[in-house]
């Protein structure tokens, strides 16, 4: 299975052109559009989202991950193998948190380039053929890197969990980069002067009340029952949060 995780948006031809390359280069391999609205131009929040989502997929899955503000520049292209899953994308930190959370990751720097490489659409021209090759069961064409402090680019300096909003969905729920398992039981989340208590799910909370819960991918998420946390609490990707001890 090849899984697409990009910031292309559903609009425009971009995701479709990638799918067309995959259909030709890896016929018969199922392709799943996981997200096309990953945080645009923002590899850091996207990295935490990808790491959380990847856990749910079976061994053998190949993630084609493209959040790539440096397209056309000099950043490297990497393929990461971790716990039986593969990740293909730019070496800008995007794959770093999934690799770290999994542990035991191996990293290849991919030096294959297509005969014709556009300056602006490496998702189609470069990442998709690489992912298709791995999806067909071949090894990545490149050299394995020796792990070291610079492994996986800027992600080496990022924390294990990111106390920020990393995604707001259609309903205004605000996903953060904190894994729920990283919090003390019954911690509260602080947003400026506000203190949000924990609930297990929406139906436990009165209509209109903000709270936090462990979302279906294991992340701390801020929500308002039948309301929009993003609007009511003025949250967007990058909004900072703090973890508060329970007492008080």
Residue 234 — φ and ψ, nearest 5°? 55, 55
Is 167 an interacting residue with respect to a second copy (CB under 8 A)? yes
Note whether 181 binds a second copy by CB under 8 A: no
Shortest distance in whole angstroms from residue 109 CB to a second copy: 19
- Residue 107 or 229: the one with the smaller Cβ distance to a second copy is 229
Residue among 226 and 246 whose Cβ is closer to a second copy: 226
Helix then strand then coil, % of the chain, to nearest 5: 25, 30, 45
The number of beta carbons lying within 10 Å of the beta carbon of residue 169 is 15
- Nearest Cα residue to 18 out of 125, 110, 118, 111: 125
Of residues 48, 108, 121, 158, which one binds a second copy by CB under 8 A?
121
Q: Give the residue, chosen from 141, 217, 232, 244, that forms a contact with a second copy under the rule CB under 8 A.
A: 217
12 belongs to the binding site for a second copy (CB under 8 A)? yes
**Residues 31-70 as x/- pattern, contact with a second copy by CB under 8 A:** -xxxxxx--xx-------x---x--xxx----------xx
Q: Give the start-end residues of each E strand in the chain.
A: 2-6, 31-35, 62-66, 77-82, 85-90, 106-110, 142-144, 162-168, 174-179, 188-191, 194-196, 210-214, 219-224, 242-244
We find the least distance from the C-beta atom of residue 121 to a second copy, in angstroms, to be 3
Q: Binding-site residue total for a second copy (CB under 8 A)?
A: 57
State the nearest-atom distance from the C-beta of 135 to a second copy, in Å: 13
DSSP states along 180-231: GGGSPTT-EEEETTEEEPB-SSGGGS-TT-EEEEE-TTSEEEEEETTB-HHH
List contacts with a second copy (CB under 8 A). Answer: 1, 3, 8-17, 19-20, 23-24, 27, 30, 32-37, 40-41, 49, 53, 56-58, 69-73, 118-121, 124-125, 167, 169-171, 200-204, 213-217, 226
């Amino acid at each position: 299975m090849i899984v697409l995780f990009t910031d292309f948006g559903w609009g425009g031809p971009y995701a479709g052109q990638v799918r067309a390359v995959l259909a030709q280069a890896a016929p018969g391999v199922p392709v799943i559009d996981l997200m096309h609205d990953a945080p645009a131009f923002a590899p850091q929040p996207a990295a935490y989202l990808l790491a959380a989502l990847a856990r749910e997929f079976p061994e053998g899955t190949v993630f084609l991950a493209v959040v790539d503000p440096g397209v056309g520049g000099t950043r490297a292209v990497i393929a990461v193998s971790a716990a039986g899953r593969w990740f293909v994308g730019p070496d800008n930190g995007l794959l770093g948190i999934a690799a770290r959370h999994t542990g035991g990751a191996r990293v290849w720097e991919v030096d294959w380039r297509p005969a014709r490489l556009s300056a602006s659409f490496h998702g189609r021209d470069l990442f998709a053929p690489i992912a298709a090759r791995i999806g067909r069961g071949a090894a990545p064409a490149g050299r394995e890197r020796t792990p070291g402090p610079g492994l996986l680019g800027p992600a080496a300096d990022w924390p294990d969990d990111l106390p920020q909003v990393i995604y707001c969905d259609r309903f205004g729920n605000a996903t953060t980069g904190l894994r729920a398992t990283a919090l003390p039981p019954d911690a509260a989340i602080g947003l400026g002067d506000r203190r949000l208590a924990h609930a297990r799910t929406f139906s436990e909370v009165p209509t209109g009340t903000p709270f936090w819960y462990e979302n279906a991918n294991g992340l701390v998420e801020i929500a308002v029952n039948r309301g929009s946390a993003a609007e009511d609490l003025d949250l967007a990707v990058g909004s900072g949060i703090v973890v508060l001890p329970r007492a008080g």
